Amino acid sequence: MSPKTVFAVAVSLGALLLALPVAADDDEVVTATGQGLVEVVPDIARLSFGITARNPAVAAARDEVAEGVARLIRLARELGVDDDHISTAELSVSQDFSWDPETRERRLEGFIVSRQVLIRLAELDKLGELAERALELGVTEASPPAFDTSRREALENEALAAAARDARGRAEVMARALGVQAGEPVRIDGGLSGPGPRPLARMAMAEADMASGAETYQPGLIRISASVTASFEIKSK
């Protein structure tokens, strides 16, 4: 085949392709967004305790923290917490300086050693006792308990399913109003929304707050919400 023939064939094929109808990028669809919500009473709490010690000797501060961590772990075990639900963070060591206004220089006073202990508590009726006794053992910091559910994954799926059904229902309402029907879904996007485990107000650290007895907690309900946006093909009635 000569070069002129090849060129002629290419031009002909190009003209043929240009003459073919181009498919639309987007089919005719109806799009709706649905919401799903599941509420559940929490059955677990996650707590973070901090033990900190200051001492001129780093070894002495480290030993003091180690003893405090050991006492807290023994308490958690006494209250029925499994070892799998107790974890400790890495040891933190920093220098402790003071400021000398006369020499206008920093002076090394010693060392600050700290460690965090994380506890997952499944018996919420023991939460107040754990918090109070932990403070009595010398815990220097206690973060608010974060309430959660042990069934979170299953409940998240329930919320997503409810949101998908809601999106379908809304699409059908709009389609009927326009005299058509919502057919098969052609695109679905969705995800969870809202906060995860919910912390309560910060636990009191003062002894005066502990004088009235073990702290009580009212965690309320956990809300798991989801949103789904779906597009459905439009069908004539």
pLDDT given at position 82:
96
What's the rounded Cα separation, in Å, for the pair 43 and 53? 33
117 token code pair: 């202990």
Smallest Cα–Cα separation from 86: which of 95, 75, 101?
A: 75
C-alpha 214/C-alpha 136 separation (Å) is 12
Domain 24-43+150-237, CATH: 3.30.110.170
Which residue has better confidence, 16 or 60? 60
Residue 105 confidence class, pLDDT cut points 50, 70, 90: confident
- Portions of the chain given CATH number 3.30.70.2970: 44-148
Q: Is the pLDDT of residue 20 over 50?
A: no
> Encoding tokens for residue 112?
């600050």
The CA–CA distances, whole Å, from 58 to 48, 93, 110 equal: 24, 8, 7
What pLDDT is recorded for position 41? 95
Structural tokens at position 2: 């000569």
To which residue do tokens 């109070």 refer? Answer: 132
CATH superfamily entry for domain 44-148 = Protein of unknown function (DUF541), domain 2 (3.30.70.2970)
Report helix, strand or coil for 101.
Answer: coil
pLDDT value at position 197? 67
**Quick one: average pLDDT of 78-92?**
96
Residue 203 has pLDDT above 60, yes or no: no
Checking if the pLDDT of 119 tops 90, the result is yes
Is the model more confident about 94 or about 214? Answer: 94
Summarize the confidence of residues 43-60 as an average pLDDT.
Answer: 97
> Does the pLDDT value for residue 15 go beyond 70?
no
pTM for the model: 0.69
CA 78 from chain centre, in angstroms, equals: 29
Q: Name the segment(s) of the chain with CATH classification 3.30.110.170.
A: 24-43+150-237
Q: Where is average pLDDT lowest: 16-25, 129-138, 163-172?
A: 16-25
Question: What pLDDT is stored for residue 12 in this prediction?
Answer: 36
Q: Using CA atoms, how far apart are residues 109 and 43, in angstroms rounded to an integer?
A: 45
Which has more pLDDT, 9 or 218?
Answer: 218
Say if CB 157 and CB 51 are below 8 A apart. no
The β-bridge partners of 126 are none
Q: In this predicted structure, what is the pLDDT of residue 53?
A: 97
Q: Which residues make beta-bridge pairs with 50?
A: 116, 141
Average pLDDT, integer, range 101-117: 92
Strands 92-100 and 29-40: unpaired
Please compute the mean of the pLDDT values over residues 143-159 and round it to a whole number.
96
Q: What are phi and psi of 76, to 5 degrees?
A: -60, -45
22 has a pLDDT exceeding 60 = no
Query: What pLDDT was estimated at residue 89?
Result: 94
Distance CA 220, CA 108 (A): 48
Q: What pLDDT is recorded for position 8?
A: 36
Reading the block at residue 136, the tokens are 């009595």
